[in-house]
Structure formats: structure tokens, C-alpha cells
Amino acid sequence: MPRFKIHHVTRYCYEVPVIDSANQIMLFPLEDEFQDVLRHELMITGEPVIDLYQDYYGNKVGSFMYTPSHNELVIDARMEIVTQQRALPASSHPVEEQWNHLISLAYQIPYIDFLKQEKFEALEEVQAIANATDSRQLSVLGAANKLNEYVYNNFQYIQGVTSVETTLGEIWKIKAGVCQDFAHILLAMLRMIDIPARYVSGYVCPNKNGMRGEGATHAWVEAYIPFYGWLGFDPTNNCIANELHVRLAVGRSFIDCSPVKGTYKGTANHRLDVGVSVSYEDGITQNDTATVLTPQPVAPSNGQPKNSWRQHMDMIQMQQQQQQQ
């Protein structure tokens, strides 16, 4: 039973004082037979009252208001989690029976929410690749594994080339991004072959071999496996999400699972810094890297196109033009 200590710090810094900051936080790890929360501490600038509720997808959500004038807002979450290894699905049911079972769930709650396909450029191209897996000849688990491996092998893990605004079509075009992008592509492909799939936000914890996404918030996908239930697939690391993955929230996409989001009255010019520290399996945090905050991209207020994929492509074009001169 691995035990992890997690420290997650979010800091907003404003150019001039702002007021009436209203925020929603999803920094409460899920609790079930595979995940126990031993300790959870939350410290927020001004110590506002936090209203807690459970959303439609079963996530614990907090909301708060901080009305006084302030130049900075810090949300500091500390957690201690114990995870349990889960047994993998047994292939005791015939392949045809598994796919027929998924068909029977297509219009049932909650599966209908996790089958709805987003429209985007290159939809037909992605659909053709998803169909080429010959999924109906494989078990549902086998088909999900195959698509998980496809995303891992065909997309480059590059930080800074995408943002939360980057579309699926843009991610598909550059074949690069981070865990959030890998998860969104896998979600689309699983839904294309009629497998209910949901987005998961959380943390991936260190192990001896190391994994991409350590020491930061992480994202992966859970697919519904007939006669078993939800099983996590991590396309960033080409693995099954198990006891090294700590789950914060689930939903249709990142929008449903954002750890922190909010609004305020005042200047649009601000800076967002985030830091995450995750312990090793023994539960001992040797270096609290959460205290070393990393600047996060913030949408500019000038009304111009602002997703970082576009900025990245413009930079490449400029470099190419300079080389030709």
C-alpha cells in the first residue's frame, strides 16, 4: 500500500489590487476502496469560509469568496494519501458479448455523457485511425490498450506548445503536447469506437523507473470495461493507471476537472504560478518542490489570438523566414 504526501500550491499575483475574488477548487482527492485520504489541509489567503458540495460526477468541490482588496491570492493544499493496487479485468467474457454490453449502455446515465464526441478539425482522419484498430476483433481492454499505445507512440511530450485553449484539431496537427493533450486525444479515440471514457485529473507519483508528469498535476483517462468497471489508461506513460496514480476528479474533459478556477474584479494583468511536490513511495518528502513555483501561461487581455500553439507555430515560421534571409 503506497503512501504519498502531496503539496500543491497555486498563487495569483495581480498588477494592482483586485477585489471580490470568487473561486472554485477541486483539490479534494477521491475516496473509495482504492484510495484513502489520511490527511488533508487547505490554507487560503484571508482564511475564507469554504462551501463544500458534491458535483454531478461525484467529485468533492469547494467554493469561496475573498472580497477585500488584495495583490496576491495563495491556495495551499497538503494531502497524505494511501492507494491500493487494483486487479486487472479478467477476460472471461466472449469478445462479442463485451461489445454488445457497451451498446446496451449507450443511452444510459452516466455513460451517455462519456460517449458524446466533440466536433473538431481532422475528426474524419482520427476516426479512420481509431477504426483501423479492428477493435471488434479484440476485447474492450485490448482495444483500449492499443489506442493508449498509439497516442504514446505518435505524440511527442513537449511542454509549452499547448494550453488549456488548444483545440483537439491543433493537438492532432502538431502531434505534441503534455498529459492533458494526450488524455483528450485518447478520450476522443475511445469514444469513436463506442467505449465510454472520462477525463481524470490528479497526480502521478514517483517510482524507481520515473514517469513523465511526476511532480506536477497529471491527467489520464478512465475507460469503462464491460463486467468490470472503470479502468485508468495513462497515454503519457503508456501504462495502466494504478496505485501510483492519485485521483482528484473525473469528468467529460479538463473543463469539469480544473483544480482551481475563478474570477475577480480588477485588472486583467496577472500572473499564475503553480508548484507541486509529491513524495516517494515511503511517504518521505525529501525536497518540497511545491515551494518552487512555476509560471503558468495566462491569456492576454489585448483581444488577439492567444493560444500558445498559435504562438509556437508563429515562432517556427519566423525562425524559418530568418534562416531564408
What are 133-183's pLDDT values in tens digits? 777 889 999 999 999 999 999 999 998 888 888 889 999 999 999 999 999
Q: Which residues contact 210 (CB under 8 A, 6 or more apart)?
A: none
Q: Which residues contact 321 (CB under 8 A, 6 or more apart)?
A: none
Domains 3-83+257-319 and 95-250 are alike in CATH topology: no
What are 194-205's pLDDT values in tens digits? 999 999 999 998
| pTM (predicted TM-score) | 0.86
Q: Which CATH architecture describes the domain 3-83+257-319?
A: Sandwich (2.60)
C-alpha to C-alpha distance for 207 and 195, rounded to whole angstroms: 30
Q: Which CATH architecture describes the domain 95-250?
A: Roll (3.10)
Across 215-229, average pLDDT: 91
Residue 324, SS3 per DSSP: helix
Domain ranges of the chain: 3-83+257-319, 95-250
Q: What is the per-residue pLDDT for 209?
A: 62
